[in-house]
Amino acid sequence: MNIKFEEKYIADDSAIVIGLPENIKELKNFDELDTLLNGLTEEIISANVLSDTFGKVTTTGVTIQRQYRKVVAVGLGDSSELTALKVQKAVGKLFQFMDGEKDSQAQFILDTFAFEPKEVADAIGMMSAVSNHVLMGYDTSDKKQFRDELDVTLITKEDVKAGYDHGAALGNSIILARDFATMPPNLLYPESFADEVAVQFKERPYIKGEVKDFDTLVQEGFGLLAAVGKASVRKPRLVTIEYKHPDAQSDEPIALVGKGITYDSGGYSLKTRTGMRSMKYDMSGAANVVGMMDAISKLELPVHVVAVLALAENMVDGNGMRPDDVYQSLSGKTVEVSNTDAEGRLVLADAVYYASTTYNPKIMMDFATLTGAVIQAIGEDRTGVFTNQGRKFINNLLISSKVTGEDIWHLPISELEDDRVKQSDIADLINADFKPGGASFAAAFINQFTEETPWVHFDIAGTSNTSSTTPFAKKGSTGVMIRTIVDLIESGTLYE
């Protein structure tokens, strides 16, 4: 995408892109807009040629210097109700419309959006990346990303470059995560994923990392991660990425832990033919944590953050993990396996224990496509959130969730679930009990390994993918919670 910044409109072949609030005459640049539209702005809106209905994209044409110019407008509704999120949605709809119309050259008149120009530029930076992005390169077509063909000029007298750059950085991190989640599993597996991550962060300031291979995992006692991944010819890995900004040298880290099951057949508790489809996405938690770290480090946020990725394939083999097996975790606790398809909580158990005891984080958050039960409980549009602290502990997270529109729902874990996970006849814990409340059971199981570190668990099973187009994504992987966690970290409230 070629981006330019200008103080005033200069006529060329580009489409003129504007926002249309209901109270159009209150725009500070109304006279300028009305001149562009040949003095017919109010008449055009009254005749429904252009619409001010929120999110509706309409077009018309005007004559400027005897040349026809296309005008693309997005309705903004009542400008007093606009938020950064609503501006992002409107801009996302604009870019999706422009893709359909093949309008790759555009001048955005930012002051028509009735919102802080820097925030509008931020939205353009992010939404130009995410709204139309799809994974490419796996067929024989020569199709390009629409964004790669864009030539955009932002028109305003204010300096909005920093806003645009922020949004573009965040958008690129989201599509990085989405691409990892969407890659075919014969090409993205624990070793190759670890290698890709190493390349991604190799030249990044303030970053260091480590990859533990299968032999190391066994030697160091990662018994659950090794058990899940041992049946595959592509053995498990544990990846650590540490980002420490110079201004955060003395800060306790924030730990982000991701479940990275690069393919989940279910193991001996084999999934059905339809249930196994799309199990390449079972590493979305790890992919999204990579996206978070990518954004945090590119934006050079003044924080200390550690990411731990537990990567494995859950396959079937003669030496594979079986129901009735018992394995010792990194913590020393033993686990009876009742269901090999409840493998995500096993790899997370070792990963959160490692993060907690190695880095002593201020707060630890894990992200996982963990249970179908969370979808049954709250649907596909909300992320289930669990914590070992009181509800007040996640208040700032709830605020960031509202800012980004990534809905979360606080779900319970208590002594009821703590008792259930201890109901093995022969081991300390059991990994599944096949009773209702499976999402809470899984969260309670992971909590046995947090070592009382303040912890939040995000079950993204319903929200990691979308089956329909939204302003933020085409059908497929969403990169869910990247925007929310970056906003939460930027807010500075995690250390309050």
Any idea which residues carry the catalytic annotation?
A: 271, 345
Contacts 24+ apart (CB under 8 A), 58-64: 59/101, 62/16, 62/36, 62/37, 62/38, 63/38, 64/11, 64/36
Whether 191 and 316 have beta carbons less than 8 Å apart is answered as: no
Give the C-alpha separation, 64 to 16, whole Å. Answer: 11
**Chain-centre distance of CA 487, in angstroms?**
12
Give the C-alpha separation, 457 to 459, whole Å. Answer: 6
Whether 79 and 19 have beta carbons less than 8 Å apart is answered as: no
Count CA atoms closer than 13 A to 230's CA, side-chain side: 17
DSSP assigned state of 271: P
> What is the dihedral angle through the alpha carbons of 222, 338, 449, 317, rounded to the nearest 10 degrees?
20
Q: Which of 195, 199, 190 is nearest to 217 (CA)?
A: 190
SS3 100: helix
DSSP assigned state of 433: -
DSSP assigned state of 262: E
What is the number of other CB atoms lying within 10 angstroms of the CB of residue 324?
A: 9
**Chain-centre distance of CA 133, in angstroms?**
14
Whether 389 and 396 have beta carbons less than 8 Å apart is answered as: no
What is the number of other CB atoms lying within 10 angstroms of the CB of residue 43?
A: 11
Beta pairing partners, 282: none
Strands 476-477 and 465-466: antiparallel
Q: Which of 137, 28, 57, 128 is nearest to 88 (CA)?
A: 128
Whether 427 and 336 have beta carbons less than 8 Å apart is answered as: yes
Q: Retrieve residue 62's tokens.
A: 């005007």
Q: Which amino acid is at 9?
A: Y
Give the C-alpha separation, 493 to 496, whole Å. Answer: 5
SS3 274: helix
SS3 30: helix
What is the number of other CB atoms lying within 10 angstroms of the CB of residue 237?
A: 27
For 304-360, give the DSSP string: EEEEEEEEEEE---TTS--TT-EEE-TTS-EEE-S-TT--HHHHHHHHHHHHHHHH-
